Amino acid sequence: MNYLYIAATIVLTVFGQIAIKMQVAKAGALPADATDKLWFLIKLLLNPWIIAAFAAAFLASVTWMGAMSKFQLSHAYPFMSLNFVIVLGLSAWLFNEPMSLMRMAGVALICIGTVVASQG
């Protein structure tokens, strides 16, 4: 049951990353002009999905505090590397980002490292 705090932290963090990427991709490239850049960023900051991503980051911090009340940091923190694994997989699936052999090897190393680090 205590691992739900860690799982919730991961899910909320991944949601925030994916939501921001989706909305930024939809908004297009950052304009070059300073005034246009400011309005671009203001529109993004008022976007409900971006607000939800920020709320998810806040809630991830709250669930992380719960995890810290149950686990040693050195035990719980390696699980945060799963964010890389999940975001990489979702970015390939949702955004058609390339999934090279080197990236897959890196993800495998992260998974192995997470298992090893969580054992100690």
Element (H, E) at 4: helix 3-27
Q: Check whether 65 has a pLDDT greater than 90.
A: yes
Name the residue among 85, 89, 93, 86 with its Cα closest to residue 109. 85
Q: Check whether 1 has a pLDDT greater than 90.
A: no
Element (H, E) at 109: helix 101-119
Q: How far apart are the first and last CA of the chain?
A: 20
The model's pTM is 0.87
Q: Check whether 111 has a pLDDT greater than 90.
A: no
Q: Check whether 14 has a pLDDT greater than 70.
A: yes
* pLDDT tens-digit readout, 72-99: 998 899 889 889 889 999 999 999 999 8
